[in-house]
Amino acid sequence: MAKTYGFDTLQVHAGARPDPATGARQTPIYQTTAYVFRDADHAAALFNLQEVGYIYSRLTNPTVAALAERIATLEGGQGAVCCSSGHAAQIMALFPLMGPGRNIVVSTRLYGGTVTQFSQTIKRFGWSAKFVDTDDLAALEAAIDDDTRAIFCESIANPGGYVTDIPAVAKVADKAGLPLIVDNTSATPWLCRPLEQGATLVVHSTTKYLTGNGTVTGGAIVDSGKFDWSASGKFPSLSEPEPAYHGLKFHETFGPLAYTFHSIAIGLRDLGMTMNPQGAHYTLMGIETLSLRMERHVANAMKVAEWLEKDPRVDYVTYAGLPSSPYHDRAKRLYPKGAGALFTFAVKGGYEACVKLVDSLELFSHVANLGDTRSLIIHSASTTHRQLTEAQQKAAGAAPNVVRVSIGIEDADDIIADLDQALAKATA
């Protein structure tokens, strides 16, 4: 698909073409585990990575491949791999880079589940994470050591109304010769294209806005294809001979597709965190309307945030789209189409009032999800962030007196009316 098409065209067409066997216009759900080889030579060439083709759906599947190509195109990357969830994508993204004793330097402002994954679970692989405030570029630089293999942050951070200065963080990563990985779940490529701002890899929870309808979990990793994996000797999985493929060197052999091919041929083959074709289908359906939905999400978020900020029952609103936000100027510069549709606000009355608010809403759903067409709310301190210490909660923008909303695409007036009646009950 030519790069000259605009975003709205690519979100409908990239990666898909009428089915060559039947002419089916919509991408079929290739509900198959395996693919028949033409002959023994064809099978051998596929297994040796000398020819690209379908072998077994743990590795590749045509429906999933159409989605991967579409996401890669929308992000402006060379290649992409889809995974079973956003969390799977994060492990898969780190897997080619890491080894026992290696670490990543990560933002303190991350999705609660990611904080847990990075501070607890990855230790079992012998990996570790150092959490730093990525606005403090000196601290970021100081946290990098000889065992660091990547920097990780979110573009629009969930949940705190924070936006990252990706070009500034990318500069630090470049100087250290490290890849920058950006979780672009909350922004989506319609609001932010991290690879254009200097990131090496983008990860997504496709569960959220890319699917947009709250039906399936999924994840993706997109590679810029621009990082030199051989320059430093720090990424032997990509630069050194791979014993499982007769000593093939991924970077030397596949160039800008090295990381993507490694993620399929080693990552999906051996970790098995594969997206299924039915899941890919739901995400392909959703992604066709991504820009239309995001435009409405952002417009509604702005209206609701402005209304809440003026309400005396609300202490403060953290939304980078508001002029009162310390990140307003940064958002205007780096996220000119809008600062997303996720933000938090503090309710007078603290923890108790927040719980009552959540229970009193009628249109909003109280769920541990975001990026649905429906308006969603969660009290992070008692749910998604309850595993964290209070200091970690505050650092992540999830203090006990704060609720997080994911503003949907309903009528803004209806969203506001629902908040109005629930705030009345919560602060009575």
Ligand X SMILES: *Cc1c(COP(=O)(O)O)cnc(C)c1O
Positions touching ligand X (CB under 6 A) are: 85-87, 111, 113-114, 154, 158, 183, 185-186, 205, 207-208, 217, 219, 370
Q: Which is nearer to ligand X, 320 or 353 (CB)?
A: 320
Structure-derived torsion over alpha carbons of residues 117, 123, 125, 126, reported in degrees to the nearest 10: 150
Report how far residue 221's alpha carbon sits from residue 201's, in angstroms, rounded to the nearest whole number: 7
Q: Which is nearer to ligand X, 203 or 258 (CB)?
A: 203
Q: Shortest approach of ligand X to residue 75 CB, angstroms?
A: 15
Q: Which is nearer to ligand X, 96 or 279 (CB)?
A: 279
Q: Which is nearer to ligand X, 110 or 334 (CB)?
A: 110
CA dihedral (269, 207, 165, 135) positive or negative: negative
Q: Which is nearer to ligand X, 158 or 274 (CB)?
A: 158
Q: Which residue has tokens 């990357």? A: 77
Q: Shortest approach of ligand X to residue 183 CB, angstroms?
A: 5
Residue 198: closest CA among 231, 220, 221, 165: 165
Q: Which is nearer to ligand X, 70 or 109 (CB)?
A: 109
Q: Give the 3-state secondary structure of residue 207.
A: coil
Q: Which is nearer to ligand X, 89 or 132 (CB)?
A: 89
Q: Give the 3-state secondary structure of residue 350.
A: helix
Q: Which is nearer to ligand X, 164 or 237 (CB)?
A: 164
Q: Shortest approach of ligand X to residue 411 CB, angstroms?
A: 25
Q: Shortest approach of ligand X to residue 27 CB, angstroms?
A: 21
The answer for residues whose C-beta is within 8 angstroms of residue 201's C-beta and 6 or more apart is 93, 179, 180, 181, 182, 221, 222, 223, 224, 259
Q: Shortest approach of ligand X to residue 155 CB, angstroms?
A: 9
Task: Looking at 56-209, list the stretches that DSSP marks H as alpha helix, in order from N- to C-terminal side.
Answer: 62-75, 86-94, 112-119, 137-143, 166-176, 188-191
Q: Shortest approach of ligand X to residue 227 CB, angstroms?
A: 22
Q: Which is nearer to ligand X, 113 or 349 (CB)?
A: 113
Query: Residue 18 is encoded by which pair of tokens?
Result: 């009428």
Q: Shortest approach of ligand X to residue 157 CB, angstroms?
A: 8
State which H helix or E strand residue 366 sits in. strand 365-366
Q: Shortest approach of ligand X to residue 172 CB, angstroms?
A: 21
Q: Which residue has tokens 């605009």? A: 6
State which H helix or E strand residue 253 sits in. helix 250-254
Instruction: Check if the beta carbon of residue 76 is closer than 8 Å to that of residue 122.
Output: no
Instruction: Check if the beta carbon of residue 141 is closer than 8 Å to that of residue 172.
Output: yes
CA dihedral (70, 73, 79, 81) positive or negative: negative
Report how far residue 403's alpha carbon sits from residue 22's, in angstroms, rounded to the nearest whole number: 50
Q: Shortest approach of ligand X to residue 113 CB, angstroms?
A: 5
What residue number has its CB nearest to ligand X?
86
